Amino acid sequence: MIEVKNLTKSYGNVAAVQDVSFSVGKDQVLGFLGPNGAGKTTIMKILTGYHFPTSGTALIDGISVDENPVEIKKRIGYLPENVPLYGDLTIDEYLGFVAEARRIGGSESKKAIDASLEACGLKAWRGRKIETLSKGYRQRTGLAQAILHDPPILILDEPTNGLDPNQIIEIRSLIRELGQRKTVILSTHIMQEVEAICSRVLIINEGKIAAQGTPEEIAGTMKGGDTWELVIKGMGAQDVQFKLPHLGIDISSASSQQLEDGTVGLSFFVASDSGDTPAGERIFDWAVANGLKILGMSRKKLSIEDIFVSLTTDEKNPGEVQHNGQ
């Protein structure tokens, strides 16, 4: 449905997007995750036909965005980061104006407005002036204008930015609902947002793709794997460190700490592909073989937050993860 190939965009000598390629299938919800200035908005503006690429192509249903932006705009609903709403209009009047701009006329216009008010939970508010709405309801109004022409694709730039926690929950659930029947691309710098809404993630850093796939796929290609934390008894912290190589783990990732009650707190990474026996069993066998008692044991999966921090702060890591889905 969306095919981006070797997309590059420069503003003067600022290389905002560099050689980015990815594709999005029907009814997927793809998250663009990246720090501020990574190039997310630029890619979205190219996809929506508001900016032209410097080189490379973006195709929507096989139509090139720079060759036929009018056709592209029919297929896409766009919620920019700062949606231009007119405060002195009511929601109804504003959507009527958008319908006119989109050349939806007469009874079609009324149907389209009713449907998008319904989808965005705005029916009871339709006569309210936009300037009297809370930020959450303004964002709903922005979404209502984006879906007014019932486009198959929705592009949402930081849709929950500036909302309070309750409004964030509401807008996320609205996007999840829309994502069941539309292809959605949304940008965010909030890690939890992609975990809450997206089926696939594209991590963007300094204009380039640092990783893409499902959160699990990306985690699987990362060095480290899961973090294990143990509380053990039977040996001092120093001696435990010496026994660790027998566990077959990367001991540079291990730390041990003597706790007050004579126990030792131990933490280390275990790579997901490091052996046939599950890590938990290996740890247990290792403790028994060394006369240690395990008093506590927990495993923390690599989160999208860990991945994001690693990919956007460590120059070496991107080489170790999949590039452009290959």
Binding site for ligand ADP (CB under 6 A): 11, 14, 16, 34, 36-42
Q: How far is the CB of 204 from ligand ADP (least distance, A)?
A: 7
Q: How far is the CB of 188 from ligand ADP (least distance, A)?
A: 10
Nearer to ligand ADP, 4 or 264 (CB): 4
Nearer to ligand ADP, 42 or 145 (CB): 42
Q: How far is the CB of 91 from ligand ADP (least distance, A)?
A: 28
Alpha-carbon gap, residue 136 to 127, rounded angstroms? 17
- Cβ-based neighbours of 49, under 8 Å, separated by 6 or more: 65, 66, 69, 70, 72, 73, 76
Q: How far is the CB of 284 from ligand ADP (least distance, A)?
A: 45
In DSSP terms, 7 is beta-bridged to 20
Q: How far is the CB of 259 from ligand ADP (least distance, A)?
A: 43
Nearer to ligand ADP, 36 or 252 (CB): 36
Nearer to ligand ADP, 11 or 52 (CB): 11
Nearer to ligand ADP, 145 or 188 (CB): 188
Q: How far is the CB of 44 from ligand ADP (least distance, A)?
A: 8
Alpha-carbon gap, residue 251 to 245, rounded angstroms? 7
108 within 8 A of 185, measured Cβ to Cβ: no
Q: How far is the CB of 17 from ligand ADP (least distance, A)?
A: 7
Q: How far is the CB of 171 from ligand ADP (least distance, A)?
A: 18
Nearer to ligand ADP, 148 or 204 (CB): 204
Q: How far is the CB of 260 from ligand ADP (least distance, A)?
A: 46
**Total residues belonging to the chain:** 326
Nearer to ligand ADP, 39 or 96 (CB): 39
Per-residue tokens: 56: 């490379």
Nearer to ligand ADP, 44 or 307 (CB): 44
Alpha-carbon gap, residue 1 to 16, rounded angstroms? 24
Nearer to ligand ADP, 16 or 104 (CB): 16
